[in-house]
């Protein structure tokens, strides 16, 4: 055996020993890997689908003022028929497109070509079992509409096919009547995505002709989350609508859902709206128009509600965003900072014992961290440490960056990587650019390189600035940090990821949890190059309605469990980011309530009841508007583990974010910040491209507080680190379109009533926006630099 072969064998033996030592099979299961090849991968795409030609960023009107085309499809989709394939206004279909699984019908997608485009469809034998014989291909993943009935059993509390009932059907009382708890579930495809409609079975109905006798005339539009980059249909099961919405179905609500409204499949808000409009048409053509439609859904499902309320004011009458963020795009601003900062703590500044306590990292990252939390990458790092000294860091605990976001940056940003790449033939996978940017190329635009533009920018960002000013880090650490951290490489220069190492070489020298091979790194003598975003791409994503501007009229109850202490990505700060954007756009946020609860209690039914009363008030007195019709008992509040209200009313969420003493709820459930807020950005977290001022001007303007003179003595280092200047967060986003994107909107239809918009005194600055700078004398030579 050669020397190299002996070393490889030795390494493999050690890997196995370590795996056994840290938990054997249980530990092995938790090591990251890429799923294998499915039975029916995408084999081909239509001609021209992957040409990657340059394309301009979106420059049209904001969707709030964009007229939608009339519907041409003849709803309803009848049983056995197929819904529309091409969207109404969201743009042409993109390929490749991986077909998901309809776990309710158990059927394959329909054959739509014999060219080898899409996934193979197999013949069935006499028993209905798939064979290996390919009868055609499905490019668009269509399914015929089908109806199934499910009942809730009193035996186990679960839903089962109605034909399996055996005297064990549960009962519910709806509209004053006691009826069997039997739900009609209709599934099919609209815009290539699965849809589902679930309503209690009506009197005298047939699968083809449902009746609305046991519907309470209220409709829940369910949204779901996840991080997605397009290219797949998603799966659907009865659990998605029946089990998940059991309590609401029992109360008579109708429920609709589409996998196009699950962000693990894509983040295209035009496609989400296009599909939602069509699904509502399908529902209304079967059951009639609802009294109102309320959105419910978490994370990416909450994002959709905020953006649809802004972009399409006639689609949802009310929203209950769970675990919300204002939008996906502005999350990227601080999330993309995570791995460069973690690499700094773990590797570049590894000799600093401070960073071995994970809780210390919040001083720069802003996000929550905990030295007592066990890292979900513990097993991986134990294995990697055998071969790479960088993983022998002895860090105690974890941060939200590692627990919540690790692995998502490459999913969004690296065109050569996706964790579901095995769903596509090798040639198709190699020709596809796997990024969020590429999935929304019609809005971001495509550069001359053939890769979609990015809106991530950190030019001039002074990481840890407020920590420096507060004396929480030294000037040396501040300079080293900002000199070391650059940006992410251009997409054409990025390599595949090395985190999912179990699918490649077992020996882990190629392992990287930080993706540092795709970063620009440097040092004080040769500072790292920062990322410069495409201005046109930022303007395009603003104009396309993918950034939450805060202009929403409908009632909103922003509801979440408090998960910050668990380092969950769904941090409660995001609710207040949305509130500040609403307040900036409208002069108030009286139509948004923030409810936070201990994770053991979920006040969703209370939220639905509050929305119902709010809707009733609006229907009785639409002239009063939304905020004035808010029920008297509908207030900001927080709940303990047993559902008791800890505090409620004005001021319970006051805190540093709005420069007020901490209220009772804020004391019980404190919020954290982001890396950009620590760098001086406002709580709105919506500045993609900061205005910059020279380092000399920043010194004059007192940006560094009591450390002004010390920083001035290092002005040459500062100017080398920030050659184009440092961020001036007193000024707005340089790339936000100057014109009002939503000019003078008219009345909004809510619960069937026309309601006048409620704009009050406009606010020029957000709550945490820094005050205008005051010039102070500086005892160093500034070289005469201007702004």
User: What value does the mean pLDDT of the chain take?
Assistant: 92
**What's the pLDDT at 503?**
56
Token pair 């404190």: residue: 670
**How many C-beta neighbours within 10 Å does residue 661 have?**
10
User: CA-CA-CA-CA torsion for 421, 232, 400, 335, nearest 10 degrees?
Assistant: 90
Cα angle 618-620-624, degrees, rounded to a multiple of 5: 55
Mean pLDDT over residues 286-309, rounded? Answer: 98
Percent of the chain with pLDDT over 70: 91
Q: How many CB atoms lie within 10 A of CB 92?
A: 9
DSSP string, 327-385: -STTHHHHHTTHHHHHHIIIIITTT-GGGGBGGGGHHHH-S-EETTSPPTTHHHHHHHT
The answer to whether 232 and 180 are in contact (CB under 8 A) is no
Three-state SS for 255-295 is EEEEEEEECCCCCCHHHHHHHHHHHHHHHHHHHCCCCEEEE
Tokens at 505, concatenated: 């070489």
Report whether pLDDT(337) > 90. yes
pLDDT band at 349; cut points 50, 70, 90? very high
462 and 693 Cβ atoms separated by less than 8 Å:
no
> Which tens digit of pLDDT belongs to each residue from 438-468?
999 999 999 999 999 999 999 999 999 999 9
pLDDT in tens, 380-416: 888 788 888 888 878 999 999 999 999 999 999 999 9
**End-to-end CA distance of the chain, in Å?**
67
pLDDT at 294: 98
Local confidence band at 583 (pLDDT 50, 70, 90 cut-offs):
very high
Sheet with 637-639: strands ordered across: 159-161, 146-152, 182-190, 193-200, 254-262, 218-224, 292-298, 318-322, 556-561, 592-597, 637-639, 645-648
Which one, of 208, 181, 229, lies nearest residue 81 by Cα? Answer: 208
The per-residue pLDDT for 698 is 97
- Tell me the pLDDT band of 2, cut-offs 50, 70 and 90: low
Structure confidence by residue, pLDDT tens digits, 623-649: 999 999 999 999 999 999 999 999 999
Q: What is the pTM of this model?
A: 0.93
Phi, psi of 56 (to 5 degrees): -75, 150
Q: At what angle do helices 269-287 and 300-311 cross, to 10 degrees?
A: 80
Mean pLDDT across the stretch 757-768?
64
CA-nearest of 512, 502, 509, 507 to 13 is 507
Please tell me the number of Cα atoms within 13 Å of 608 on its side-chain side.
Answer: 20
Burial class, 30, CB count within 10 angstroms (exposed 0-12 / middle 13-18 / buried 19+): middle
Helices then strands, each counted (H, E), the chain = 26, 24
Give the Cα separation of 397 and 443 in Å (integer). Answer: 40
Burial class (CB in 10 A: 0-12, 13-18, 19+), 3: exposed
């Amino acid at each position: 055996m050669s020397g190299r072969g002996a070393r490889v064998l030795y390494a493999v033996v050690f890997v196995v020993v370590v795996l056994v030592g840290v938990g054997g099979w249980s530990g092995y299961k938790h090591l990251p890997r890429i799923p294998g090849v499915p039975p029916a991968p995408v084999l081909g795409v239509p001609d021209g689908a992957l040409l990657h030609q340059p394309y301009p960023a979106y420059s049209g009107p904001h969707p709030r003022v964009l007229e939608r085309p009339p519907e041409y499809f003849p709803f309803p989709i009848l049983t056995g028929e197929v819904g529309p394939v091409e969207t109404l206004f969201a743009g042409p279909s993109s390929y490749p497109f991986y077909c998901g699984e309809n776990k309710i019908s158990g059927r394959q997608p329909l054959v739509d070509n014999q060219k080898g485009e899409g996934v193979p469809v197999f013949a069935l034998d006499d028993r209905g079992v798939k064979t290996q014989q390919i009868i055609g291909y499905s490019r668009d993943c269509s399914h015929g509409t089908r109806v199934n009935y499910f009942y809730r059993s009193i035996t186990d509390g679960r839903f089962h096919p109605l034909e399996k009932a055996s005297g064990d059907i549960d009962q519910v009382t709806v509209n004053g009547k006691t009826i069997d708890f039997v739900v009609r579930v209709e599934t099919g495809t609209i815009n290539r995505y699965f849809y589902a409609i679930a309503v209690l079975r009506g009197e005298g109905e047939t699968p083809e002709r449902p009746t609305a006798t046991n519907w309470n005339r209220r409709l829940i539009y369910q949204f779901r989350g996840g991080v997605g980059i397009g290219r797949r249909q998603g799966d659907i099961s009865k659990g998605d609508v029946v089990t998940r919405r059991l309590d609401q179905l029992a109360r008579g609500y109708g429920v609709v859902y589409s996998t196009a409204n699950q962000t693990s499949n894509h983040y295209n808000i035009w496609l989400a709206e296009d599909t939602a409009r069509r699904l509502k048409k399908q529902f209304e053509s079967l059951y009639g128009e609802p009294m109102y439609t309320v959105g419910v859904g978490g994370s990416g499902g909450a994002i959709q509600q905020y953006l649809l309320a802004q972009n399409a004011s006639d689609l949802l009458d009310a929203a209950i965003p769970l675990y919300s963020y204002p939008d996906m795009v502005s999350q990227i601003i601080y999330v993309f900072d995570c791995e460069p900062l973690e690499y700094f703590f773990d590797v570049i500044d590894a000799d600093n014992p401070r960073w071995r306590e994970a809780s210390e990292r919040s001083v720069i990252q802003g996000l929550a961290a905990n030295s007592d939390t066990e890292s979900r990458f513990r097993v991986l790092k134990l294995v990697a440490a055998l071969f790479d000294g960088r993983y022998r860091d002895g860090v105690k605990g974890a941060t939200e960056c590692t627990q919540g976001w690790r692995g998502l940056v490459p999913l969004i940003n690296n065109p050569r990587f996706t964790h579901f790449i095995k769903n596509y033939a090798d040639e198709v996978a190699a020709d596809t650019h796997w990024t969020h940017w590429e999935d929304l190329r019609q809005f971001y635009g495509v550069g001359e390189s053939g890769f979609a533009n990015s809106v991530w920018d950190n030019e001039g960002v002074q990481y840890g600035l407020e920590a420096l000013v507060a004396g929480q880090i030294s000037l040396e650490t501040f300079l080293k940090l900002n000199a070391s951290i650059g940006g992410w490489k251009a997409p054409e220069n990025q390599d595949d990821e090395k985190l999912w190492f179990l699918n490649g070489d077992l020996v882990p020298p190629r392992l990287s949890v930080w993706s540092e091979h795709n970063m620009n790194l440097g040092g004080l003598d040769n500072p790292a190059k920062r990322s410069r975003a495409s201005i046109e791409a930022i303007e395009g994503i603003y104009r396309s309605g993918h950034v939450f501007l805060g202009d929403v009229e409908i009632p909103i109850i922003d509801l979440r469990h408090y998960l910050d202490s668990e380092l969950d990505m769904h941090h409660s700060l995001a609710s207040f980011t949305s509130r500040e954007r609403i307040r900036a756009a409208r002069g108030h946020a009286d139509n948004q309530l923030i409810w936070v609860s201990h994770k053991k209690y979920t006040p969703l039914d209370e939220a639905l009841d509050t929305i119902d009363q709010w809707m009733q008030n609006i229907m009785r007195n639409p002239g009063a508007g939304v905020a004035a019709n808010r029920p008297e008992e509908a207030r900001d509040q927080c709940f303990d583990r047993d559902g008791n209200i800890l505090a409620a009313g004005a001021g319970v969420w006051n805190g540093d974010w709005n420069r007020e003493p901490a209220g009772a709820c804020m004391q019980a459930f404190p919020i954290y910040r982001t890396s950009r807020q620590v760098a001086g950005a406002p709580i709105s977290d919506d500045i993609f491209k900061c205005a910059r001022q020279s380092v000399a001007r920043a010194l004059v303007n007192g940006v560094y507080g009591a450390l002004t003179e010390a920083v001035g003595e290092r002005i040459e280092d500062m100017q080398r680190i920030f050659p184009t200047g440092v961020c001036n967060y007193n000024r707005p986003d340089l790339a936000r379109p100057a014109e009002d994107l939503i000019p003078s909107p008219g009345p909004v239809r809510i619960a069937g009533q026309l309601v006048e918009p409620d704009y009050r005194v406009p606010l020029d600055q957000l709550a945490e926006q820094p005050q205008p700078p005051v010039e102070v004398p500086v005892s160093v030579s500034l070289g005469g630099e201007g702004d």
